[in-house]
Structure 1
Amino acid sequence: MDSHIIDQLGRPIKDLRISVIDQCNFRCTYCMPAEIFGPDYAFLPKEELLSFDEIVRLAEIFAKFGVEKIRLTGGEPLMRKDLADLVGRLKDIDGIKDIAVTTNAVFLVRQAQKLKDAGLDRVNISLDAIEDHVFQETNGRGIKTKPVLKGIEAARDAGLKIKINMVVKKGMNEDQILPMARYFKGTGDTLRFIEFMEVGNHNGWNMDAVVSKKWIIEQIHQEMPLVPQDPSYYGEVASRYRYEDGSGEIGVISSVTEAFCSSCTRARLSADGNLFTCLFASSGYDLKTMLREGESDETITDYLLAIWTGRTDQYSVDRAQGKPMKENKIEMSYIGG
């Protein structure tokens, strides 16, 4: 961390999300709908992806801005060859305290221990239902929960911290809230419910499909009493609740009904090297060209400083105030969440 840079920022960038690949072995209805990402969809060619050297160089620069947490996303990041090598290199960067991977967990059986040995701290696992007939509908491929649950078990055995992310969409899987809470209660894993958001242009979002944080908490509290918790750190997006009986905790991410734009400390880097300052952005800032044209770290640092201090994005706040929304938002599969 560079104190001179931090003083200019106003608020630091604490959390860097890096999409390492745009491909996935699921075609989920939330971020990679089958009607868009069919068998003929043209994913990025290998040469368009940032190399591990380029990712590490940018991560080193971002660490000067206060970044302490890096999450590797996709697509499915475990499809990127030798991901454990990248984890190890990122873990060695001064100031980086936490490395995570967002995954559907299918490949964790083979890779969990290797990733842990390389320095991975935790995994964020996407699982939108615990009952097979619902999960098969949500993932769009007819895949059952068994391979995901085996991946979760492998992550536990490796000693990785685990967060389970469930996107809740009315009419699709709201009846899975309680079954999911029952299943993961007492396991040591943190289950997080995410309000259905209008990321991208193809997930069929409308407000009628949103299941609110308030409703989710009420359903669980009636059966399994909850106690609200204070945030663990500035900028934490999930509202945390612990079970009254001490058997764990849950979280709810409520960017639709309770916007948290003003405390956002996240930056997102796409697999082809574009920087986004908001999950709902419609355009990014090209860093890959700067890297490949030989720009110095100092030049890139100055560019990033201008971007971060000049940001005005507050999409969720604007939406809540009824302001006109931008069209052609970036897809979740591209930006990585």
Structure 2
Amino acid sequence: MYIAGSTGRSRQIPTATTISNTKDVFRLHILPMFGEYSIKFLNDNKDFVLRALMKKSQTYANIKIIKSYVNQIFDIAELLEYIEYNRIEKVIRYVGDPKKQQLKAERQLNGEALTAEELIAWLDAANEDYSNGSLIMQDYVLLMLTLNLGDRKSESYALQWKHIDFENGYVSLIQSKDKFGNLKSTKGRKATKFKIPTFLIELLKEWKQKQKEELLQLGIKQTKEQFLFTYANRSGEVNIPVHVDYLNYRLKSIRRRHEELTQTNPHKLRHTFSTLAREGGATMAQISQALTHSDIKTTEIYVNTPNVVDLSTYEKFEKRLDEARQAK
């Protein structure tokens, strides 16, 4: 199978997540648009395909993936000689991404990160809920750890006690969970050790002991393989690693109790971590390393704060002019 979005086209074994996402794209988008028509009809009526895709681009942000899959269909049809050649390949290049650009503009206008003041309000609310029992310890630890690491929620979900170095104060991110709960490598296949502050170490120690006691009540012995964050599902199964939207739901529940809070989600918290770190004086290189990005250009997307140019550049400009004046 050809994997859309890869560099070039190389045959790979698709993951369960890729297969599921591909099926969803076809079921929800491609088949409703083109399922009633033959490949030959669509290939002979490229203007019809163009109009359909342009209409879809007005409402669907990730039009790029639809274009890629549609083009692959016709490439395969050409390969199998169902059609003479792929007539739509050049046509679909003219389909833009207006919905994506609209959403990007809205995010830039509204801000993709919480301000320091907005985040303080969230922390105060979480502390209040934790103190009065509205937020259980596990959920409080999950929120604080994910926020202060600036990691992806899927990486927090995949943490096991063997990844916590209490003696030296490190958390190792070496794996993550896909939406089906399967363990996989972190994005970019990176293994990263994070030095964490003392208060997080103490919080994790306290949670480890509390979790140990809770598991023993269920007849389960806590081991180094034990996941930090688990729950009981509707079928009655216990000690199940948390599901993909677990932290999203916890944030929503906090906001329901504190309606004055600015709306947020785990990904926005990642933007907040990087933005506030930058405002606090961290370099782009340091933030890029913390976010485990392979390319600093990706990091620049996460840092939602304007570049500040001080007088040092002007002073160098003026110095050079002075040198030229003195040389006359």
TM-score, structure 2 length as denominator?
0.22
Greater fraction helix: 2
Greater fraction strand: 1
| RCO higher in structure (CA 8 A, sep ≥6) | 1
